[in-house]
Amino acid sequence: MVENRPFLTVLSHLVVILGVLVIAFPVWMTFVASTHDQQTMLRAPIPLLPGPHLIDNYMRVLTEGFGTKFGDNPLARTLFNSLVMALGVAIGKIAISIIAAFAIVYFRFPLRLTFFWAIFVTLMLPVEVRIVPTYGVVANLGMLDSYGGLIIPVIASATATFLFRQFFLSVPDELTEAARVDGASPMRFFWDILLPMSRTSIAALFVIQFIYGWNQYLWPLLITTKESFYTVVMAVSRQANVVDATPSWNLLMAMAMLAMLPPVAVVIFMQRQFVRGLVETEK
């Protein structure tokens, strides 16, 4: 810092530490609740420190599912669905966006700008707003209760295409010229030069889109009616709405922990890519 003010430095630390604690508190309580048995979680005050039932609760939720209504649907299956959706959304978005951006930047062809603007306007209408007609379209196409229905309608997005377009525009023209002089075809240039150069952008985008896909809520809620296609976020929410009737807070909180763990782990272990992705997708 500019000058030495011990009091301010201590105050800064205190404020940030307090902030960290307050922000972490709900997750701590969730974790604590997921390690006790049902009886302990029935009456206030509930304990503030973990109990001995961690493995019991998590195993039960993962293999047997939850309560009576969820009984025949183990959470392991639900977590798998979320993983499929998150990976599908992340990989699908990156794949269709990077080739579309390649076409728009590296070729001149009729309708190029029309396509560009068609992609651009998708920014204008979040899926929550056009949800009812989109549901109708997906139902007409017979895509309810399918992985395709979960993934494909949410992968059309402008942000990824813009990110790649921005990046391609910054790639030196000399590389393209060299490739052309050497007689490389456009696709060869794409695979051997452009794609390897885009690695960091792809990684950054992957982190953001994985979280986006994993955390989808409204869309899976609408188009899945079979429990075998439920995603974990909607399973947690559904169960939370009946928890007062069948109070197994310990199991609900174990489910919530499992729903949070994968995306939070991705953010923590890929923090650099995450921050980069956040900042870049907003450009």
Partner 1 sequence: MEKRVTFNERWLPYLLVAPQILITLIFFFWPSGEMIWQSLILEDAFGGNTRFVWFDNFIHLFNDPAYFASARLTLVFSALVAAVGLAISLLLAVMADRVIRGATVYKAFLVWPYAVAPAVAAVLWGFLFNPSVGIVAWLLQGIGIEFNFVSNGNQAFLLIVIAAVWNQLSYNFLFFLAGLQSIPRSLIEAAAIDGAGPAKRFWDIIFPLLSPTGFFLLVVNIIYAFFGTFGIVDALTKGGPAKATEILVFKVVNDGFRGQDLGGSSAQSAILMVVVILLTVVQFRFIERRVHY
Query: What residues from 188 to 207 belong to the interface with partner 1 (CB under 8 A)?
Result: 189
Measured in residues, the chain has a length of 283
Q: Which x/- pattern, by CB under 8 A, does the window 66-85 give for partner 1? A: --------------------
- First-to-final CA distance of the chain: 30
Contact (Cβ atoms closer than 8 angstroms) between residue 229 and residue 84: no
Question: Under the criterion CB under 8 A, does residue 26 sit at the interface with partner 1?
Answer: yes
Q: Which residue has the tokens 């009576």?
A: 68
Q: Which parts of 159-272 are beta strand (E)?
A: none
| Chain residues 241-270 in contact with partner 1, contact rule CB under 8 A | 241, 244, 247, 249, 252-253, 256, 259-260, 263-264, 266-268
- Binding-site member from 45, 52, 183, 196 for partner 1 (CB under 8 A): 45
Comparison of 54 and 99: residue with beta carbon closer to partner 1: 99
Question: Under the criterion CB under 8 A, does residue 147 sit at the interface with partner 1?
Answer: no
| Chain residues 89-118 in contact with partner 1, contact rule CB under 8 A | 95-97, 99-100, 102-109, 112, 115, 118
- Binding-site member from 59, 137, 139, 195 for partner 1 (CB under 8 A): 137
How many CB atoms neighbour CB 1 within 10 A? 7
Contact (Cβ atoms closer than 8 angstroms) between residue 252 and residue 240: yes
Nearest approach in angstroms of CB 30 to partner 1 is 5
Comparison of 195 and 264: residue with beta carbon closer to partner 1: 264
Nearest approach in angstroms of CB 116 to partner 1 is 9
Helix (H, G, I), strand (E, B) or coil at 229: helix
The CA-based angle 178-184-188, given to 5 degrees, is 115
Torsion of CA 210, 215, 218, 224, to 10 degrees: 70
Question: What secondary structure, in 3-state letters, does 202-223 show?
Answer: HHHHHHHHHHHHHCCCHHHHHH
Nearest approach in angstroms of CB 196 to partner 1 is 18
Choices 54-62, 65-73, 171-179, 196-204; region in contact with partner 1 by CB under 8 A = 171-179
Distance separating alpha carbons of residues 158 and 12, to the nearest angstrom: 40
Nearest approach in angstroms of CB 37 to partner 1 is 14
- Binding-site member from 4, 6, 23, 183 for partner 1 (CB under 8 A): 23
